[in-house]
Structure 1
Amino acid sequence: MAGVDTALVARLRRAGCVFAEDEAALLLAEADDPDALEAMTARRVAGEPLEHVLGWAAFRGRRVAVTAGVFVPRQRSGLLVDRAVALAKPGAVVVDLCCGSGALGAAVAAEVPDVELHAADLDPAAVACARHTVPPGARVHHGDLDAALPADLRGRVDVLLASPPYVPTAGLATMPPEAREHEPRVALDGGDDGLGVLRRIAALAPDWLAPAGAVLLECAGHQADAARAAVADAGLSATAEHDDEADATVVVGHREPR
């Protein structure tokens, strides 16, 4: 179906969709027939994330499979990908923990030649999406953080990246309804101060990193000092970077070469 329907735009705008014209165009492009368009529109008007309705999210110029109930990749995670790409040389072993839809690891693999990519997530629905998203030859594992990884990766991971859940438990209630009602809590809830999962990843990273390998962790800007301390406590040299425009923060921990 083609052409923007003004009635559809008005309906989406009444539902609170800020970019109603753009959303209407996407719905029209994806719907096979009027019945499908009505079903998709009803889901969107009811508050379901547009990405869940479409079945995909746009990330770094690629379409990423995102089914209902799966965490939608955030554009601010582009900073994390940028830093991973800068560190990953051709042929690098890259691990994407808390991979969700697989968007971040897949983006790195698309921008660095011959990457050996592994991704892992605890959520079976996310794992299913990631297996559609990652390139051929990449492996997606189901399990809790490094428990899902093959043992032969230990000591040879060049870049370990993660956008773990980092919203404090008490802050979940203040999140937009699209997130708190339609994305899995396990992908949002970072514990009391939001850094529970990040600290776990920082602690496990040295066992998996190759000499001169690096771990890259996304967090909120106000968490940067505590996140950097967690990485340093794991025995890694730690730095933090913040992008004001994207409101993105990444902490990087390097394993010093022997």
Structure 2
Amino acid sequence: MTEVRVALAAAATTLEAAGVDSPVNDAEWLLAHVLGTGRGSLALAPALTPDQEQAYDALVQRRATREPLQHLTGTAGFRYVELAVGPGVFTPRPETELLAGWAIEAARAVTGRAPVVVDLCTGSGAIARSIVDEVPQAQVHAVELDPSAHRWAQQNLDGTGVDLCQGDMAQAFPELDGTVDVVVCNPPYIPLEAWESVAPEARDHDPHLALFSGDDGLVAMRVLEQVATRLLRSGGVVGAEHADLQGESAPGVFAATGRWADVRDHRDLAGRPRYLTARLAR
């Protein structure tokens, strides 16, 4: 029988040595998962049984190989919802909650009718699920190209009323052209040359289709600009996440066309450029 504090300390040491960014946090999440409790209850948990200790050690060793924490627990929290995630789908990041929050506020700003929202490159369905959860009157449409990611999105969006399609965002929802209030997207945006700098959790486990976007990382952003121009009604808005080194180049994709007003970039809680927004000027 191993005391909880001893097990946590040993696990955190193992994870820190493996280069995991948040070893204490991950050690706690994994133990809470094994014990079937919340992290806040760990201090009151009894000593681990041999079976629990074995299960915990196995998960810690897998995390030490940089397998994503969310793949080990099978879930990822995103704003106020919990998503099923695993191999074959991009694991939603906390930073993207800011973009989702912007889209939610933009949808709430539509008055007199139900807002129409399109989530492109939906992945696990995190943004679409959050929007329909927090703006239940919204008509939400989502599209995902990758078949495996689409299956995860189906699981997360089942029963929510979100219109989910599988396909390329470039051809998505032609029936909505000129009628959409909000387009939101977390596109792939990592330059191919940045392969080696990507964290193993993403590089080795997230679908490459969700990560890389040409030599400059902006191929998908240029497609998004064209699709948003087609989908949005006059005065409609678009928001898109980008890499922290694209705080000028990503908004520049929109500013250069002359089709957009109020092109702005927004920073995350760490002060890094994180997502852009723009309003269709026509």
Q: How does 1:177-216 map to 2 (within 5 A)?
A: 177-216=200-239
Q: How does 1:173-252 map to 2 (within 5 A)?
A: 173-232=196-255, 233=257, 235-246=259-270, 247-252=272-277
* 1:45 has 2:68 as partner: no
1:76 pairs, out of 83, 87, 95, with 95
2:153 pairs, out of 130, 136, 141, with 130
Contact preservation (8 Å) 2:33, 2:73: yes
What CA RMSD, in Å, does the superposition of the two structures yield over aligned residues? 2.4
Distance in 2, Cα, partners of 1:244 & 1:173: 24
Which letter does structure 2 place at the counterpart of 1:49?
P
2:82 pairs, out of 46, 63, 67, with 63
SS in 2 for 1:95: strand
Distance in 2, Cα, partners of 1:48 & 1:181: 8
230-239 or 101-110, which deviates more: 230-239
Aligned in 2, Cα 1:41/1:242: closer, same or farther, shift over 3 Å? same
Which letter does structure 1 place at the counterpart of 2:254?
V
Distance in 1, Cα, partners of 2:122 & 2:247: 21
Q: Kindly state the Cα deviation for residue 255 of structure 1 after the two structures are TM-superposed.
A: 1.5
Distance in 2, Cα, partners of 1:75 & 1:195: 22
Q: Kindly state the Cα deviation for residue 234 of structure 1 after the two structures are TM-superposed.
A: 6.1
Distance in 2, Cα, partners of 1:68 & 1:177: 14
Structure whose alpha-carbon radius of gyration is higher: 2
Aligned in 2, Cα 1:210/1:68: closer, same or farther, shift over 3 Å? same
Q: Unaligned stretches of 5+ in structure 1? A: none
47-56 or 224-233, which deviates more: 224-233
Which letter does structure 1 place at the counterpart of 2:165?
H
Contact preservation (8 Å) 1:231, 1:238: no
Partner residue of 1:255? 280
Q: TM-score, normalised by structure 2?
A: 0.81
1:161 pairs, out of 176, 184, 203, with 184
Partner residue of 2:169? 145
Partner residue of 2:29? 23
Which letter does structure 2 place at the counterpart of 1:62?
V
Q: How many residues align?
A: 253
37-46 or 131-140, which deviates more: 37-46
Q: Kindly state the Cα deviation for residue 45 of structure 1 after the two structures are TM-superposed.
A: 3.2
SS in 1 for 2:247: helix
Contact preservation (8 Å) 1:4, 1:28: no
Q: Unaligned stretches of 5+ in structure 2? A: 38-50
Q: Kindly state the Cα deviation for residue 39 of structure 1 after the two structures are TM-superposed.
A: 5.2
Partner residue of 2:42? none
Q: Kindly state the Cα deviation for residue 106 of structure 1 after the two structures are TM-superposed.
A: 1.3
Contact preservation (8 Å) 2:34, 2:55: no
Contact preservation (8 Å) 1:224, 1:240: no
Which letter does structure 1 place at the counterpart of 2:7?
A
Distance in 1, Cα, partners of 2:15 & 2:252: 43
Residues 137-189 of structure 1, C-alpha deviation per residue, up to 9 Å, x if partnerless?
11211111142x33321111111100111111111211111111111111110
Q: Kindly state the Cα deviation for residue 24 of structure 1 after the two structures are TM-superposed.
A: 3.1
